[in-house]
Amino acid sequence: MLEEKEKKLREVFTIADKLQWEIGEQFHDRVIEEVYAHAKEIAESSVIKSPDHKYSFETRVDKIITSKIFGFPLMLLLLALVFWITIVGANYPSKLLSYILVDKGLSGLKYLGEMLKMPSWLSGFLFDGMYLAGAWVVSVMLPPMAIFFPIFTLLEDLGYLPRVAFNLDGIFRKVGAHGRQALTMTMGFGCNAAGVVATRIIDSPRERLIAILTNNFSLCNGRWPTQILIATIFIGALVPQHLSGIVSTIAVVTVAMLGVVFMFLTSYGLTRTLLKGEPSAFSLELPPYRPPNILQTLYRSIIDRTIVVLWRAIVFAFPAGGVIWLVSNIQISGMSIAEYLIRILDPIGIIIGLNGVILLAYIIAIPANEIVIPTVLMLTVLVNKVGVISATAGVLMEVESTNEIAQILKMGGWTLLTGINLMLFSLLHNPCSTTIYTIYKETQSLKWTVVATVLPIIFGVIVCFIVARIYYLVL
C-alpha cells in the first residue's frame, strides 16, 4: 500500500515537472497579472468617474514613496534621520545613567560590602563583575533603544514599512527570493528571532528557508548600540565635532545597507546552488495611511520591545559579568584564564584587524548580542596593551562619557581599523543563542541551523581580513 502511494506521488511530481517546462518561466507572474488585469476591467466597467476626478491624498503620496526615482532615496534618507536622532539624542541620558549606575551605584555597593564585612572575592564577584556588567548594559543600551524603537514603531503604525517591502520586492525577485522576505528582513531589524518566526508568511518552503538563513544580516536591536557607540568613537572622531553626529550616522547606515547587500548576495547564491527554484508570486496590499495612537505606540515600543529586550540583556549580562570576573581572577600557574584565552586568540584577531579581547567577548556574549560592549569594556580594562592582566583585575573603570569609553578602548591598543572591523564583525557574525534555537525550531534541521550559524562567521572573517589587508597597504 505504501509503495503504491509513493509510486503515485512520483508520477505526480514527474507530470508537474514536465508541465513546468512546458508553460515556461514566470508562470505565476502571468497568472497574477491576468487576475489584476481582469479585476481592472471589471472596475472600469462598473465604476463611473467624474471628469474632475482627482487622486486621493494616499495615492499621490504613494506615487512618490513607491516610485522608482524617489522610493529608495527617501527610504535611505528616512533611515539616516532615524539613526541621527538616535545617536545625538542618546548621548546625554547615557551619561546620566552611567553616572548614577556606574559611578554612584558602584561606590554605594562597595560601601555596603564593607559594612557587611564581605570578603574581597565575594565583593569583587558581585559588584565588580555581575553588577557592573548589568549597569553597563542599562547605561549603554537603554537610551538608544528608548529613542529608536518608538520611531520604528511609529513608522510601522503609519503604514510605511509595507511600502519598504514594495520597493524592495523587485530586487528580492531578481535574486530568486520571495518578495515577502522584505517584511521579514524589516522585522529582523528589531529582533532576528522575531524575523525568523515571521518567515511563516512565506508559503514556499524553499523561499522561506532562504529568508531564515539570511535574516541574521539584518542588524538586530542588540547590535545597534555597538554600531552607534563605535561609529561615534572612531568614525565621528575623524571630523570636527559639529559634523560628528552626521558622519557617525552615515557610517551606521552604510553598515546596515551592507547587511542588506549580503542578504541579496547570499540569497542569490543559495537560489543558484543549494536551493534552486523559480521564485513564487504574491500580492502585496498596501494598507491605508493612518494616524498612530501615541499611547499605543509608546506602550508597544517601550514595554513590548525596549523593556523586554533590555531585561533579556540584563539577565544575560549578570552571569556574563560573573564569568568575566572569574576568568580574570582565577589563576593557573601564575596566569589568569583570561590571559591564556586572550593570548591564544590575539594572533587570530590581529590577522583580521581585531584582537583577542573582541573575540573572547563574542564567545562570552553568544547568549545575547546586547552584552558585547559591556564585555569588551570589562575585558579591555582587565588587560593592558600587550594583553597582560592589569593590577586591578576584575574592576571595571568608572566612566561617565563616550570620551572616557574611547580612552579605555585606545588604552587597549584599539585603532581606526579595530573600530571599523568591529562594526563589520558585529554585522557579520553568528546569531545569538535565542535566534539559533528559533532557527532550529522553525527548520527542524540541524544541518540548516549550522549553516545559518556558521555562514555569517565565514563572511565576517573574510571581510575583516580583506579590510585589514587594504588598511595596512594604504596606511
Pairwise CA distance, residues 410 & 242, whole Å: 22
Let me know the angle formed at the C-alpha of 91 by 255 and 406, rounded to the nearest 5 degrees: 70
Is position 130 within any domain? yes
Grid coordinates belonging to 449? 541551523
Does 444 fall in a domain? Answer: yes
Residue 58: inside a domain: no
User: Which pLDDT score is estimated for 451?
Assistant: 94
How many domains is the chain built from? 1
Distance CA 320, CA 134 (A): 9
Distance of CA 370 to the CA centre of its chain: 10
Which residues, listed in sequence order, are joined to residue 335 by a DSSP beta bridge? 332
Structural domain contains residue 402: yes
Predicted confidence at residue 324, as pLDDT, reads 79
In a domain, 54, yes or no: no
Residue 324: inside a domain = yes
Q: Find residue 383's DSSP bridge partners.
A: 389
What count of residues does the chain have?
A: 475
Kindly write down the DSSP assignment for every residue of 378-390, as one continuous string: HHHHHB-TTSPBP
Distance (Å, rounded) from C-alpha 238 to C-alpha 240? Answer: 7
CB 275 within 8 A of CB 144: no
Q: What is the pLDDT of residues 119-164, one digit of tens each?
A: 888 888 888 888 887 887 787 667 777 887 788 778 777 878 778 7
Q: Is residue 6 part of a domain?
A: no
Question: Which mean pLDDT values do the consecutive 10-residue runs of the chain (475 residues) have?
Answer: 70 68 60 73 75 67 81 82 76 81 84 87 86 78 76 79 78 80 78 81 85 90 82 88 85 91 92 75 67 76 72 76 82 82 91 92 79 78 49 40 76 89 94 85 91 95 95 87
Cα–Cα dist 218/259, whole Å: 6
Q: CB of 120 within 8 A of CB of 395?
A: no
Q: pTM for the whole thing?
A: 0.72
Inter-residue contact 353 to 465 (CB < 8 Å): yes
Contacts of 113 (CB under 8 A, 6+ apart): 122, 123, 126, 127
Question: What string of DSSP letters covers 292-358?
Answer: --HHHHHIIIIIIIIIHHHHHHHHHHHHHHHHHHHHHH-EETTEEHHHHHHHHHHHHHHHTT--HHH
Q: Which of 90, 183, 53, 40 is nearest to 405 (CA)?
A: 90
Residue identified by cell 499611547 is: 295
Asked if residue 192 belongs to a domain, the reply is: yes
Give the structural domain span for 323: 72-277+289-474
Q: What is the pLDDT of residues 177-218, one digit of tens each?
A: 877 788 788 778 767 887 888 888 787 888 899 999 999 998
